Structure 1
């Protein structure tokens, strides 16, 4: 529970009220969306780095 709290509230900035009152599927979907966004952002940054090397 402490790791989940740290991730959602401290890292993502989710309010404690949402964290403690949301259902588990909602929290899992937030995590999946955050992961997808991070992967997309990383791909864009890598592409820009590669283009800058040319």
Structure 2
């Protein structure tokens, strides 16, 4: 087996992992955005900026 095949396989697996991670993150954000009971970000216009951040 040539190293070229190894590099190609590693590159494709890395791209696949990044795409899966992005899709999962996007789904989490969309679910949180649709949930009316979730805590608001401190960057939201109707939230105090000196409050506790959501993700801490």
Q: What is the TM-score with the length of structure 2 in the denominator?
A: 0.57
Are 2:5 and 1:32 aligned? no
Larger radius of gyration: 2
Query: Hey, what does 2:25 align to over in structure 1?
Result: 46
Unaligned runs of 5+ in 1: 1-21
Q: How many residues are treated as equivalent by the alignment? A: 33
Unaligned runs of 5+ in 2: 34-56
Structure (1/2) with the larger helix percentage: 1
Q: What is the TM-score with the length of structure 1 in the denominator?
A: 0.59
